[in-house]
Each structure stands twice: as structure tokens, then as C-alpha cells.
Amino acid sequence: MRGPRVSGASVTRAAVCVASIRSVRSPGAPGPLTLKEVEELEQLTQQLMQDMEHPQRQTVAANELCGRCHQPLARAQPAVRALGQLFHIACFTCHQCTQQLQGQQFYSLEGAPYCEGCYTDTLEKCNTCGQPITDRMLRATGKAYHPQCFTCVVCARPLEGTSFIVDQANRPHCVPDYHKQYAPRCSVCSEPIMPEPGRDETVRVVALDKNFHMKCYKCEDCGKPLSIEADDNGCFPLDGHVLCRKCHTGRAQT
Ligand SMILES: [Zn+2]
Ligand SMILES: [Zn+2]
Ligand SMILES: [Zn+2]
Ligand SMILES: [Zn+2]
Ligand SMILES: [Zn+2]
Ligand SMILES: [Zn+2]
């Protein structure tokens, strides 16, 4: 007579991801003012000396060139100070649409000024609502979201700062909803095999091509909990039944 076969069980863990948050660029401060104002104080204090040493002062210093056209800025001419440089008013324009930005809110992008509309066009769009993300951006599963737009596709609960799991179509689920929908069912109690509330992972026993809760993995006849190891306390299956060694031997003899 052949001895009972022992079956090893494997254990699978379900991993979860956590969304990360990063902040996006904030607008630059509008900074129109005249070169005259900028240099008024300096002029007052240096007037006398300059008059004596350079009575016909025609040249301008290198730092008084327009940041866009690199031509000199005339002293009496209004100028815009922005991005650490001075510009002719006509030269301080949106990098994209070339509209003048003097007196307007503008945004700095890689050192160049942009009007609000063009800057908004450069922003990433929310994967859920399609609107540009101007404040905080949540990046998850390779896509950008408004934090309030990254929600469970089943219960619509916001998932910012919590654990979530994506399905095969990359759609985010809160952990309970994911498991309710996709978790394997226990072949003994038919309940989904999912983490306890507050836990991120669970243990599933796989044996005889069936899934079991750890607590449900026990002998069908005597109820003795079975080891997942292929040892004497493991499963000794008979005709697809999960049995302990003793009950296997008992059934095999009848
Ligand atoms: Zn210029
Ligand atoms: Zn523009
Ligand atoms: Zn959105
Ligand atoms: Zn949910
Ligand atoms: Zn069970
Ligand atoms: Zn038993």
C-alpha cells in the first residue's frame, strides 16, 4: 500500500502602493517698475561724482542691457525688472504668444516669462477631470491628478495619503473595494481573502489549486489546523479533500 502523499501550500502576499504628493511651480511676482525708480537713490548719491568724472556719460554698464534684446536701456525710459534682469517694456513679453507682460501677472518657466494663459497650457492636466493642475499635484500610477480627483473608482473615497491598489486597467481602488472585487475567495468559507482593516497585506494559502484563509486551512474531517509546510502536520490530500495525516489514513482504510 502506498503511503499518503503530502502537499505543500504556497503563500501569496498582495502589495499596495501609496500615492506621493509634490508641489508644482508657484507664480512669479509681477515686478514692473521704472529703471528711473530703481536707480533714483543711486543716482542721487552718485550724481556729483559722475558729473565730475563723466560729464558726458553716454555709455551704460553691462548690467544695464535689456535682458531680451541686449540693447542698452536709456536712463529716462521705463523698464521692467523681472527674473533678476531689466527689460525694455516692449521686450518683456510672453515667451509663447509674445504679448506684453508689463503690469500683468506672469509666470517664470525655465527662466523665461509666460503670460497666465500660456503658462496654464504648459501645466500637466489632471487625469480625472482634464483641468490643469495649478496647485498641488498628486502623482500616482505614472499619471498626474488633483489630490481631490484621485479617488477610488468604486466608492469615490479620496485616496490621497492612503493605501490603494490599481486593477489591470490601472484604475485606483481603496484597499477594501479592491479586495471585495478582486480578492480570491476562500474555498472553505467563500469569503474574500483580504487584509484585516488597517492592515496592508494578507496571507493566502494556496493548496490543491484552491485558495484558503490561513484560519480556514484545516483538516476537513477533524478540524485540525494544517501546516503550510510539506511535513507531518501538513495537508495529506485524498480525492481533492484537505485532510490531516491521521484522517487521510482513516479514510484510505475504509
Ligand atoms: Zn529690449
Ligand atoms: Zn502667452
Ligand atoms: Zn482633477
Ligand atoms: Zn473604495
Ligand atoms: Zn475562509
Ligand atoms: Zn483530521
Q: Give 33-77 as a 3 state SS string.
A: CCHHHHHHHHHHHHHHHHHHHCCCCCCCCHHHECCCCCCECCCCC
Q: Is the pLDDT of residue 199 over 60?
A: yes
* pLDDT at position 12: 39
Mean pLDDT calculated for residue range 178-197: 87
Residue with the larger pLDDT of the pair 200 and 79? 79
The answer, yes or no, to whether residue 218 has pLDDT greater than 60, is yes
Cα of 107 from ligand 1 centre, angstroms: 19
Better pLDDT: 146 or 31 = 146
Q: For 235-249, how does the pLDDT look when each residue is reduced to its tens digit (9 = 90+)?
A: 999 998 999 999 999
In the predicted structure, residue 8 carries a pLDDT above the cut 60: no
As a whole number, the mean pLDDT across the chain is 76
Q: What are phi and psi of 167, to 5 degrees?
A: -90, -170
Predicted local distance difference test score (pLDDT) of residue 25:
38
- Per residue in 220-237, pLDDT (tens digit) is 999 999 998 888 899 999
Cα–Cα nearest to 186, from 224, 214, 225, 213? 213
- CA 202 to mean position of chain CA atoms: 25
- Ligand 6 centroid from CA 194, angstroms: 26
pLDDT at 84 exceeding the cut of 50: yes
Please say if the pLDDT value at position 163 is more than 90. Answer: no
Q: Which ligand is nearest to the CA of 115?
A: 2
* 1 band by pLDDT with thresholds 50, 70 and 90: very low
Collapsing DSSP states into helix, strand and coil, what is residue 111?
coil
CA geometry: angle 136, 138, 144, nearest 5 deg: 110
Query: Considering the entire predicted model, what is its pTM?
Result: 0.47
Percent of the chain with pLDDT over 70: 75
Ligand located closest to 241 CA: 6
9 contacts 228 by C-beta, under 8 angstroms = yes
In angstroms, what is the span from residue 154 Cα to ligand 5's centroid? 24
Backbone angles phi, psi at 187, to 5 degrees: -75, -10
Distance CA 216, CA 188 (A): 6
Ligand 4 mean position, distance from CA 197 (Å):
13
Rounded CA-CA distance 152/168 in Å is 14
Least confident of 18-22, 69-73, 96-100: 18-22
How far, in Å, is the centroid of ligand 6 from the Cα of 209? 20
β-strand pairing of 203-207 with 10-13: antiparallel
Tell me, in angstroms, the distance from the centre of ligand 5 to residue 155's CA.
25
Please name the helix (run of DSSP H) or strand (run of DSSP E) that holds residue 247, with its range, or none.
helix 245-253
Looking at all shown ligands, the one closest to residue 117's CA atom is: 2
Ligand with an atom nearest the CA of residue 66: 1
Nearest Cα neighbor of 188 from 175, 201, 204 is 204
Average the pLDDT over 83-111 and give the result: 88
pLDDT band (50, 70, 90) for residue 170: confident
User: Which ligand has the nearest atom to the CA of 183?
Assistant: 5
Question: What's the CA-to-centroid distance between 230 and ligand 6, angstroms?
Answer: 16
Q: What is the pLDDT of residue 90?
A: 92
Mean pLDDT throughout 68-73?
89
> 31 versus 214: which is more confidently predicted?
214
pLDDT category, 63, cuts 50, 70, 90?
A: low
Given a cut of 60, whether residue 78 has pLDDT beyond it is yes
Residue 146: exposure state from Cβ atoms within 10 A (0-12, 13-18, ≥19)? buried
Q: How far is the CA of 207 from the centre of ligand 5 (A)?
A: 13
pLDDT for the residue 216: 95
**Which residues keep their CB under 5 angstroms from ion ligand 6?**
219, 221-222, 224, 244, 247
**Per-residue pLDDT, 97:** 95
